[in-house]
Chains A and B, each alone.
Chain A
Amino acid sequence: MVSTTVPDLRPKRGARTLRNNVASGAFVLSFVLVCVPLVFLIITVVAKGAGIMSWSFLTKNIPSARRSGPGMGPAVVGTLLMTGMASLMAIPLGVMGAIYLHEYGKTGRLASVLRFFANVMTGVPSIVMGLFIFTIWVLPRKGQGFSGFAGSMALGCLMLPVVIRSTEEMLKLVPDHLREASLALGSSKARTIGTVVLPAALPGISSGVLLAVARAAGETAPLLFTIGIVSKPNLNLFRGSNTALSAQIFSNAALGLPGATERAWGAALTLVILAFLVTFIARVVVARFDPLRKAT
């Protein structure tokens, strides 16, 4: 029998609607709960660090622990230099390693083994990286072992598996038909990778790389036994102990001295701002330069 009445399309009240609303409410509540500690953390860091944040804080030498006043210059320089050196070592190696894994090795034996180890390394605690460099580099050099370069190596070990993993994921996202189109024009495999695959994957790779950089900038454990935390400025990465923002937080925060504590919070705020800036740049790069995005 064919119905000739117009169906009732209004929302129906009842048990199903109630369950739907409860579920939606639960999701919203969960999200709010997750945000609370995050927001609380950021507010605390900003509140405690803002007081001492200033240009002189970022540039002056570190006063001795008992004294108050701004000054984290050597640590800022140390963080920037060491993270820069670590990036210089880890990024090219990581990107090329990922290219090998995805474009050449694929499912072969060597590639599978390398991929497995890279995956495992992403989970190795950062202090182990520091210990590794301490044992093979710092110790053999007896008194001269501590240096910014040793710290960079430890940070590099930390960054490398992350760069490999995220680059490989980005390479997977480049569709095969682009590679085919290039090869069909008589381009070699290496040239295809250089002129088609990498440019297409570059925004995603940059994003992953910058996130690895942001993480390395804030790591403390790898630096504990490698840089021999000092307070004096040292622009030479290869000679003499050095310091970094994260290391300064470590050495200052629990001393119970107000000046040191305040500077530790300032250092924490600096790191948070640094991480924020790097992440922000990464997202802008992806959004603006992604060639796989359809032209508007």
Chain B
Amino acid sequence: MQPDDVPGSTTVADSVISRPVAVPQRSATADSAIASPTVFHLKDLSVYYGPFRAVRDVNLEIRRHEITAFIGPSGCGKTTVLRCLNRMNDLVASARVEGQVQYQGLDLYGADVSPTEVRRHIGMVFQKPNPFPKSIYDNVAFGPKVNGTRKKAELDVIVEQSLRGAALWDEVKDRLSSSALGLSGGQQQRLCIARTIAVEPDVVLMDEPCSALDPIATARVEDLMQELKSKYTIVIVTHNMQQAARSSDRTAFFTAEVNPESDRRTGVLIEYDRTEKIFSNPGDERTENYVTGRFG
């Protein structure tokens, strides 16, 4: 579904035509105006696992400095589409993508695009917190070290900034060398967020980041998302409709169609619009049924 307000032109980051992926200039005036530049443009995206089509014909645009939520019942392809955005589906041997995923005008699945480079610009926070079995400091410093930062002084600054950015600094500043596995679930998830933003990505993808957390930890992560929005673009998959309603700017509603012959389910995008509209006056009956709780 096309959103109501189509941007006048898709801005492409300068001089990136011949390079695989590049970080655009962060414009100082890029607030979330009606026509924010497009970060992702999905065109007729279908994802196959072997012969089985998991999700079909997704068309949507993700805008800079917005929080875009994917909602819908289980098994309708939300996580599959999310993982296409940073090529994590490459890790599944049988996964195949048809259609186009454009990141700032560039084909993310182009022949000379390196998935490793893609993931330096598009980070991901997973459903179950997965800190490395290392110290808190080493967890956050991991990404910058991969990118070549070696000097302890620089790493110290990055670690502190990232932990502050994830609202975790005050709680851990006296025990940076202790194991990350000793933190509570909510703290571990915020550590994973700190780890992700330590490499200063362009986009942060979140796959149900709060589903393993208690309500208070969830609220803190949601507050964090609002703060992070000004620096990053966020795409979040969530089962929690209230979370989507209160946190996101735009919402995409997916559902699953059952193939009568094979009984397999294929995910399909039903509606994609500004969040207020999806939750107050959705265009499609299926969306309305879902957000009002009549099914799913």
Contacts and interface: CB of A to CB of B under 8 A. Distances in A.
Interface of A: 175, 177-178, 180-188, 191, 195-196, 199-200, 291-292, 294-295
Contact of A183 (B88, B117, B131): B88
Contacts of B192: 181
Given A186-B119, A186-B146, A187-B116, A180 B196 contact: no
A199 B131 CA distance: 14
Given A183-B88, A188-B116, 13 more contacts: A178-B132, A178-B133, A181-B130, A184-B126, A186-B117, A186-B199, A187-B116, A187-B143, A187-B146, A294-B181, A294-B182, A295-B181, A295-B182
A185 B130 contact: no
Contacts of A178: 130, 132-133
Contacts of B199: 185-186
11 contacts: A181-B192, A184-B86, A184-B123, A185-B195, A186-B116, A186-B117, A186-B146, A186-B147, A187-B142, A187-B143, A291-B133
A188 B119 CA distance: 10
Nearest to A291: B133
A294 B183 CA distance: 10
Contacts of B195: 181, 185
Contacts of B146: 185-187, 191
Interface residues of B, number: 29
Contact of B119 (A183, A195, A200): A183
B117 A177 contact: no
B162 to A, nearest CB: 12
Contacts of A291: 133-134, 179, 181
Contacts of A175: 130
Interface string B109-136: 0000000110111011010101111100
Contact of B142 (A185, A200, A295): A185
B182 to A, nearest CB: 4
Nearest to A192: B146
Interface of A is mostly: helix
A292 B195 CA distance: 19
B67 to A, nearest CB: 19
A25 B132 CA distance: 45
Given A185-B199, A186-B199, A180 B126 contact: yes
A292 B133 CA distance: 6
Contacts of B181: 291, 294-295
Nearest to B143: A185
B91 interface: yes
A196 B88 contact: no
A108 to B, nearest CB: 10
A292 to B, nearest CB: 5
Given A177-B126, A200-B133, A182 B182 contact: no
B178 A295 contact: yes
Contacts of A191: 146
A179 to B, nearest CB: 8
Contacts of A184: 86, 88, 119, 123-124, 126, 196
Nearest to B124: A184
A69 to B, nearest CB: 53
A294 B133 CA distance: 9
Contact of B126 (A181, A196, A295): A181
A186 B126 contact: no
Contacts of B182: 294-295
A178 B143 CA distance: 13
B262 to A, nearest CB: 25
